[in-house]
Structures are given as structure tokens and as C-alpha cells.
Chains A and B, each alone.
Chain A
Amino acid sequence: MKEKFLRIFSLVFGKEIHENHDFSMKNNPEWTSLKHIEIILSIEEEFGIAFEPQDIPKLTSLKALWEKTLEMVG
């Protein structure tokens, strides 16, 4: 599952994103609001989940997104 999750990041950002990568909106200028929504929609589609609208602006790091995805997939 983690592999699938990381693959989405790699595809959206067009570069290899590794598991322990400290990757967030704050420390990566290429993580724009457009990329953010692309990541959100791709994860939802891949794992068959739907993030709550109020959570979307908060999920701005790879770590936060992974934890939330894990929680929702169960």
C-alpha cells in the first residue's frame, strides 16, 4: 500500500519520492495548490476513499497524508 501511495507522489511531481522523504507543501515550492488537489484526488481514487473537505487544507505533508489515508483505509 505504501508503495502505491508513494507512486502517486512520484507521478504527480514527476520525480522519485522516497519513503522517508521529508516532503511537504512548506518545504517544496513545487507542491502548489494545484499539485495538492491532484495528490488528494489521486489518493482518493487509488484507495477508494473521500477526505472530508475540512481536512483537505491540513493534509499538506507526505506524512500527514499517509497517516490519514491509513486511518481511512482501515
Chain B
Amino acid sequence: MNKNFSILFLQDYKRSDLLALKCSKDHKQYKIQIHRNHSFEMIASVLAPFLDFAEIQASFIYSDYDDSLGYAHKEESDLELIWLDISRYKQIDLVSFLAERIVALRKKSQSPILLLHTGEMDLSGLMALVPDFYLFSILETIACLKEKMFDLEKADFTGTRLSHKACLLLAKRIGLSYIPSLLKPTLKAIVLDLDNTLYQGVLAEDGIENLLLTPEHRILQEYLKNFKNRGFLLCLSSKNEESDVLEMFSRRDDFPLKLSDFSISEINWLPKEQNILKISQKLNIGLDSMLFIDDNIAEIQSVEMALGMKTILAKSPQEVVRILEYYPGLLKKTLSKEDQLRNSDIKANHIRQAMAKELSLVEYFQTLSIKLLFFVSSHDHLPRAVELLNKTNQFILNYRRYNPSQINRISMDSNFCIITISMSDSLSDSGIIAVVIAAVKNGRLFIDEIAISCRALGRKLESFMILNACKIAQKKLNTDNLVYFPYQKGDRNKPCLEWLGELTLQSIQEEKGCIEFKLPEKIDNPGVEWNESLV
């Protein structure tokens, strides 16, 4: 982490500290419209360095102070932020009022909607109201200020009851957590060092029994375990003897983190950048989706230099927890079934890879008893479809990055067909691992987008899944057996385009294009059981 930016994660900082930070002008620009009934400017004026850390540049469009949330002067924006002081509403049914106003805003905008309010009541029931709508009470962030949360004396000047300290603290939460979670992809994996990071001491020197699990290290381990339970992958990169580490985890049952909590462990004496690269390849995820934590500044610097990765220098366990609490990309707005399945599925992938080397293709499929289930425009799967469309980087055709509102609309349009595919085998249930969006245009079948989870790649099922999805779409949309694959080259979708080239026997050279393909009458079943769900 850039030294200048470490101030962003301190518990206490001044406005002048933030204003002194130089921000990059190279990040993508986003427009954020603020619908408000109290001032947001005191926060917006110090948001830039936090957003800059999350690689975001933002400009703000303000509504008038409007308790009625009338959305006058609505402009096109990338994010709608409703900024409400709930105390201004007296004697109204607040939940009904908000429900009606959120639905009204969704009709005007397809962008994510974020409601930040000062209320103590539970409004989470409103979250299911419209797609891509999230809400948080800002009191959670500023409760630590106790009686200094509000400053009524200055409210006439600042336009808000919030104190200056509260505004500074909220800028951190909004700039590092809330806004990035809506505009940027989340991180997928945290790679951890062991010695003096997860406990105090050096395994090879101090011995297993003398490693100290301080109360602060216990909190850190519990905190990390909680990340695992929320669907993030934990991995180990440690310079140690592997046998020592295995023995340590088996004997130290006081450690909240168990060896089984780590999806991949690279324990050897190789440079960490080599091991992290290996982890990224094994997980099939990009280095930009990973965060590396180590107490050794030299390791941090060499990983940053070699891989350009996000890192945290673990000066103390307390500091790591403080940074993780706010670190961009670590806020999950919702928890899907796939988040819970991910870790066990990745572990099963190691066994699958070993089996693929030993067995023929048919033997491999039959031994694993792979089952695929195809769902057509299943409403329950739409959030997962959006997640796949926005997080997939490698097996994706066009990077269309549909938002929840667009997917919701498409799911109700008879010219479209959204096919989600679940996969399970004798080793694990992978959940929904692929989505195919098909459309009929002038009587022709177009595959507007394909996204397959990196967990499901390498099982040699890509063609089988996609062609069967095309067949289902052909039947639903009543087209002939020609299918068109529009594609767009991106930074990382080479695997998808190579697959398309091999399938259609065409060389894909252009930056973008559209390839015609004749669907076969029958798609070879390689020993995989599959069905179209009636749900």
C-alpha cells in the first residue's frame, strides 16, 4: 500500500490530512447523483482520496434539499445515492413512503441505488423491493463517536446534523466500502503469510508450542474466517517446511483458522511472487482479484513490483483488522448460495485435475457422475446471473456487464432467453456456474453473452453446456439451427474466444465481430447427465 495512503485507514485523521493527498486523474470517471434532504457536501469534499484508493474518480450531481424525494432534475448517472436524515420525517409511515419513492426512482434509472440513512429501525425488508438496491444505516459507522455523532450548533452552517468527525468517518466508509462495492468488482481471494502474521513467532525457530496466539491474533483469525464464510477464498503462501505447517495446524486446535479453511496452500521456499502466481492460476482468477497480506516489507515490495498486486503490510494484527474492515472490494452486499459452496468446490477441483490426467474423457465424466441442470429465465437465479456477468473475466464473450435492472427487464422480454446452468458431481455441488443470454433478432438466434465461472473451466464441458443452452434457446425462441455469436476482445477473455474459434473453426483476429455457426442436430453426450429444469 502506498505510504501516503496509509492515512486513509487510520482511526483518526484530519480534513487537512485528506486534502493534502494527491489523487490520480487516470481512473475511470463515474457520475453519482445525490438525492438528499441534508447536506452531503461536507463528505463529498473529502471523498476523493478514498475513492482514488479504490481506483474511482467521481463527480456529483446534487438534488435540492427535498424531503419528498421528488427526483426533479434527474440526470443520467452511474449511481443513485439517496442521502436521508430520517429524523426529519415526523408522523408518516416511513417504510411505505420509502418503498414508493424507491420504486419511482427505479423507473427513472437503471443504475444501482444506494440509500444511506440516519435511522435506527430495520429497513432491510426494502432491499428486495427493486433490483440493485442496497441500504445501510450510517449510524453503524459513526456509533463509536457516541455523543459526538451530531453537532446541532453547526447544523445551520453545514446543512446537516452530522458532526465534522462523523462526516470524516463516513467519507471513509462511503469512499472505500459502499461506493466501490457498487461500481467495481469485489475481490475474490486473500493470500496470507503465516509467521508473525497469523500468530506471533516463527514456526521453524520457535517450534509449534511456542507460537503465540495473542488475543489480537485470535481476533484477526476469526475475522479472516468470517471472510471465508462470506465466500472469499483464503490461501496460504508461507516460507516454511510443508510438513511443519501441516503438523502445526493439526496440533494447534486453539487456532480459529484450520488448514481446511484455506483453498490453496503454497508452502515452500520459492519466492512468494511465484507462489502467488501459481495460486492465481490454480484458482483461475486474475491477480487484480487478490489481496496479499504479509508482515515482511521485503515480501510485500517484491510481490507489488513483480505482480502489481494489492497488498497489506501486517504491522500488527489490530492494524490488519482495521484495514480489512474498510478495504475496497471486501464488502459483500448479499450472500449467494455459490459464495458458500465456492471453497469446497475449489478443493474438489484439485482432485478433478488429477483425475483428468489419469482417465480418458469418457471415464473422467462417468467417474465423476457429472449432472448439469439448465434453467430458463429462472427468477430465483437472476442475482447469480448478474454476479457471473459482472465478475467473469476469462470465459466471457462480450463483457456486456448487465446490471440487475437490465437482467430483470430481459427476463420478462419474450425476445430473450436467459439460461442458467448448475453443475454437480460426486465431489461437490458447484451451484450455478454459467449463464447464457440468447436473443431473437429478425428471426435469427444471437448469443448476446456467455459467462462461465472460472471454477467450472477446465472440466471440458464448455461446448456441451453452451451448445445445449443454444438448443434450448432455439426451441424457446423458435429460430432455425443457425446461431450467431457476437464477440468483443477484452483484456482477459482469450479462453472464451479460443473456444469460439475452435468450435466454429474460424480464426478470431478482429477486435470485435460476429460468427455464424450451424447447430448440430445432436450434441454428443460425453457421459454427462443433463436435464432442462421444469422450474
Contact = CB atoms under 8 A, between A and B. Distances in A.
B157 A42 contact: no
A8 B45 contact: no
A36 B156 CA distance: 13
B41 to A, nearest CB: 5
A45 B20 contact: no
A7 B158 CA distance: 22
B14 A46 contact: yes
Contacts of A11: 16, 19-20
Contact of A38 (B15, B20, B153, B154): B15
Contact of A53 (B41, B45, B154): B154
Contact of B164 (A33, A45, A53, A56): A45
Interface in A52-74: 53, 56
A17 interface: no
Interface residues of B, number: 14
A40 interface: yes
A45 B156 contact: no
Interface string A23-49: 000000000011011101110111000
Contact of B45 (A33, A36, A38): A38
B20 A56 contact: no
Nearest to B46: A38
Interface in B260-295: none
Nearest to B14: A45
B62 to A, nearest CB: 11
A1 interface: no
Contacts of A37: 42, 154, 157-158
Nearest to A52: B153
B153 A53 contact: yes
Contacts, number: 40
Interface in B383-417: none
Nearest to B152: A53
A27 to B, nearest CB: 21
A8 B20 CA distance: 9
Nearest to B165: A45
Nearest to B154: A53
Interface string B150-167: 000110111000001000
A34 B45 contact: yes
A37 B71 CA distance: 27
A46 B41 CA distance: 20
A41 B164 contact: yes
Given A34-B41, A37-B42, A53-B153, A42 B158 contact: no
Contacts of B158: 37, 41
Given A11-B20, A34-B41, A42 B15 contact: yes
Interface in B156-184: 156-158, 164
B19 A56 contact: no
Contacts of A40: 157
A42 B42 contact: no
Contacts of A7: 16
B385 to A, nearest CB: 42
B19 A53 contact: no
B320 to A, nearest CB: 28
Contacts of B154: 37, 41, 53, 56
Given A42-B14, A45-B14, A53-B154, A12 B42 contact: no
Given A11-B20, A53-B153, A41 B15 contact: yes
B148 to A, nearest CB: 12
A43 to B, nearest CB: 9
A8 to B, nearest CB: 6
A45 B16 contact: yes
Interface in B3-19: 14-16, 19
B174 to A, nearest CB: 17
Given A37-B42, A41-B164, A45-B164, A8 B153 contact: no
Q: Which of the listed residues A8, A37, A40, A53 has the most CB atoms from chain B within 10 Å of its own CB?
A: A37
Nearest to A39: B15
A58 to B, nearest CB: 12
Nearest to B44: A34
A7 B15 CA distance: 12
A53 B15 CA distance: 20
Interface string B136-155: 00000000000000000110
Nearest to B155: A53
Contacts of B156: 53
Nearest to A51: B154
Given A42-B14, A45-B14, A12 B157 contact: no
Nearest to B21: A11
Contacts of A34: 41, 45
Contacts of A44: 164
Nearest to B19: A11
Interface of B: 14-16, 19-20, 41-42, 45, 153-154, 156-158, 164
29 contacts: A7-B16, A8-B16, A11-B20, A12-B19, A33-B157, A34-B41, A34-B45, A36-B157, A37-B42, A37-B157, A37-B158, A38-B15, A38-B42, A38-B45, A41-B42, A41-B154, A41-B158, A41-B164, A42-B15, A42-B19, A45-B15, A45-B16, A45-B164, A46-B14, A53-B154, A53-B156, A53-B157, A56-B154, A56-B157
Given A38-B45, A45-B14, 16 more contacts: A8-B16, A12-B19, A34-B41, A36-B157, A37-B42, A37-B154, A41-B164, A42-B19, A44-B164, A45-B16, A45-B164, A46-B14, A53-B153, A53-B154, A53-B157, A56-B157
Question: Which 5 residue pairs across A and B have the least CB separation, nearest first?
Answer: A11-B19, A41-B164, A42-B15, A37-B157, A45-B14
